Amino acid sequence: MDKLASELRERRTLDDEGLRTLLESEDASLVESLHRNAREVAVERFGKQVWLRALIEWSNVCRLDCLYCGIRKSNREVPRYTLSREEILSACASAWKEGIRTFVLQGGENPSGALFLADVVADIRASWPEAAITLSLGELPFTTYALLRRRGGDRYLLRHETASAAHYARLHPSDMRLDSRMECLQELRRLGFQTGMGMMVGSPWQTSQDLLADLRLMERFRPEMAGIGPFIPQHSTPLGSFPAGSADVTLRLYSILRLMLPAIFLPATTALSTLLPGGRVQGILAGANVIMLNFTPRAYRPAYSLYEGKPETDGAEALRELRKELSEAGYKTTS
Ligand code: SAH
């Protein structure tokens, strides 16, 4: 049985039954061998290094109504905000000062806001020509994607959320379609963005067949990055009383993806560490190689409540603690 992980490592693919076993087996030695193989592949390729990214949640204004998300349009409990140009630049400056060279600007789906942000992206590009600018702004008109690219955006994260159209339809209002999301991902790639996709683990009604479909979709699309974290309920959403997803399955998925797509940039996500104390380091030991730190100004963090229990103390203040945890595991940070 332990051969499954080395077979995946060698062939970079497995049949459905093999993948399902890696996801579901209760054999602890099989799971250990999965994580060990993934960790070795990450270390062979990248050394014992973890890439740091600064997350700046620049606005929680959103026109969409995703059933799981705490900043969905219909949630009247959350005060809406958009950071000013100065606030965004000053968040970038504090991240730069800490040695972080990638800024991730994330927010709700806000087409007019995105036009404002495009100008800020140009300012960031002018101030820090060597920085990487990652955008995570959801589905936008293709002309806006092109504008963001021209202004200096390098990378774009747009999780597909689930590769099954029927499951997608249960998690989203009827005006949202998996096909549109996939068309956005194709267009982002065509525009020259390094592209990230991904899904929530254990979202309501998700089956192991759905997770297999997620893996196959990423195996085909070969994204440069993947964001994968457990679903965590948020009380003021329609899915607020569903149970959270599994940290164990999330870690297994990191390992499987590392073995399928050895060069992928794979964050140990905040959602994972929200559910599992020490989850960031465990994620790294399972094959992840990126950690995002929150540089959103403190006062706004409670309003970017995608899910319950999202830590509000993170970012610069957490960096020293994180470096210590990672160095205890033998890893250093880079950017
Ligand atoms: N609006 C943008 C970016 C913000 S949401 C977009 O849609 O891409 C970023 C990610 O947070 C989403 O892709 C989703 O996978 C995740 N997320 C939202 N609600 C969540 C929840 N309740 N639990 C876990 N992850 C959640």
**Any idea which residue has 């085909």 for tokens?**
220
Record the tokens describing residue 257, joined without a space. 């993806």
Give the integer Cα–Cα distance in Å for 208 and 297: 38
Helix, strand or coil, per DSSP, at residue 145: helix
Q: In terms of pLDDT, which residue wins out, 314 or 208?
A: 208
Residues with CB under 6 A from ligand 1: 68-69, 106, 108-109, 136, 138, 158-159, 161, 200, 229, 231-232, 234, 271, 306-307
Cα 161 to its chain centre, rounded Å, is 10
pLDDT digits (tens, 9 = 90+) for 146-204: 999 999 999 999 999 999 999 999 999 999 999 999 999 999 999 999 999 999 999 99
Closest ligand 1 atom number to CA of residue 64: 1
pLDDT digits (tens, 9 = 90+) for 281-309: 999 999 999 999 999 999 999 999 999 98
Q: How far is the CA of 69 from the centre of ligand 1 (A)?
A: 6
pLDDT digits (tens, 9 = 90+) for 56-99: 999 999 999 999 999 999 999 999 999 999 999 999 999 999 99
User: Per-residue pLDDT averaged across 248-260, rounded?
Assistant: 98
* Distance, first Cα to last Cα, the chain: 37
Give the integer Cα–Cα distance in Å for 29 and 85: 51
Domains, in order of start, for the chain: 31-334 (3.20.20.70)
The burial class, CB within 10 Å (0-12 / 13-18 / 19+), for 220 is: exposed
Task: Give nearest CA residue, ligand 1 atom 8.
Answer: 138
Give the integer Cα–Cα distance in Å for 218 and 38: 17
**202 conformational bin, left if phi > 0, alpha if psi -120 to 50, beta if neither:** left
Whole-model pTM: value is 0.97
Substitution site in 71, 200, 236, 275 for ligand 1 pocket (most atoms within 8 Å of beta carbon): 200
Could you tell me which residues come within 8 angstroms of residue 15 by beta carbon, excluding any fewer than 6 positions away?
A: none
Closest ligand 1 atom number to CA of residue 158: 8
**Any idea which residue has 């039954």 for tokens?**
17
Supply the mean pLDDT for the chain. 96
Record the tokens describing residue 277, joined without a space. 């104390």
Read off φ and ψ for residue 50, nearest 5 degrees: -120, 130
